[in-house]
Amino acid sequence: MRNELDYRFSIRRLDKSTDSDYAAALKIYNETTPYEIKTNTNEITFWLDRKDSTDPFESMFFALYYSEKLAGFAMMTYIKAQRIVILEYVALEAQYRVNTVFFTYINLLESYLHINQYDVAFILNEVSNRRNGSDIDKESQIFSKLLCIEGFGKIEAPYVTPPLGTNNFESSFDAFLFAKSSGDVHALERQTYLEIVKAIYFDYFLVWYEHVLPANLVNEYNGILQKSFEVISKKLSTNGTVPVLYVECPILLNNTCNIKTTGLPPATPKKSKVLLYVVLAVFIVACPLAVAWGYNYVLNLLGVPIGSVSTILGSCLSACLTTCATLWVAKKKL
């Protein structure tokens, strides 16, 4: 009988497309993300490899690990001027797509921002409202459940997702922005909301596609964004504030979400460390003796007296250094 089980979650930011786990992580993303919200993987690779601090945004890509096995891929983007982060993708293999795992990786991504001292006003996520919520992609169904539990509020204002290029017509649709800040914000000024949308459209998406679209299509794409922004501006009330709602949590209320994410991830039996302890003990005892014997053997061949002070000191120093190095390695492993 197994008396010890454990879950181990970790994330690692990817720095370049030659990273050993990048291709496998991107494969998970490609196989699990619906077409209508899937960014072209060649574009992701381009922005992963691009390093230019003058860009108005910083896209971050992560490999997700579960018990030291690659489990998924995540992406979020920091828009510098407005200090907002867009949580874009958390793509996981099928066996890991449960609430426990999603919650953990979202928390780890937020922790990454905090530990690396990003100045963040809001963390945002787009949730589809296509056909008034009757025809939404599976990722939006999952995140509509998770975000409310994580303290995200729904910004009750019109929003249209920017298209992913000029030929993915399904990728632009009505949606809601969900927002999280250091404390609950129950309303935004109209201009604040418009500045957030403008930053997403023109500081992020337009700049992204300026670098990956053919030059003759960039103006066309800019026109699409301008039109969508004008539609949002006209629909938005000219006075008053934009409410941010925290009460309509579909995990607690009746809802149309039919994606099942309850359950547990596969548990991993905890590995015994007895063998490691035995090996380290033998190594600690045997290595200093072996080094000392080796010194003495070599010095005998060279005709140096065994009892000389230098030989004794050399053997002792070697033994001490070997023991210290072994203990340091043991500490790292354990």
pLDDT tens-place string over residues 218-242:
999 999 999 999 999 999 977 789 9
Judged against a pLDDT cut of 60, whether residue 66 lies above it is answered with yes
Give CA angle at 286 (301, 299), nearest 5°. 15
Of 109-123, 225-239, 268-282, 290-304, minimum mean pLDDT range:
268-282
Instruction: Output the DSSP codes for 125-142.
Output: EEEE-GGGGTS--HHHHH
* Coil vs helix vs strand at 331: helix
- Which domains are assigned to the chain? 5-268 (3.40.630.30), 274-333 (no CATH)
196 or 128, which is more confident: 196
When the pLDDT of each residue in the chain is averaged and rounded to a whole number, the result is 82
Instruction: Please compute the mean of the pLDDT values over residues 172-188 and round it to a whole number.
Output: 90
Handedness of CA 150, 155, 158, 159 (dihedral sign): negative
The pTM for the full model equals 0.74
250 or 184, which is more confident: 184
Instruction: Output the DSSP codes for 177-205.
Output: EEEE-SS---EEEHHHHHHHHHIIIIIII
pLDDT tens-place string over residues 41-55:
999 999 999 999 999
* Coil vs helix vs strand at 61: strand
- H-run or E-run covering 114: helix 99-115
Which residue type does 49 have?
D
Judged against a pLDDT cut of 70, whether residue 252 lies above it is answered with no
Torsion of CA 49, 53, 57, 59, to 10 degrees: 30
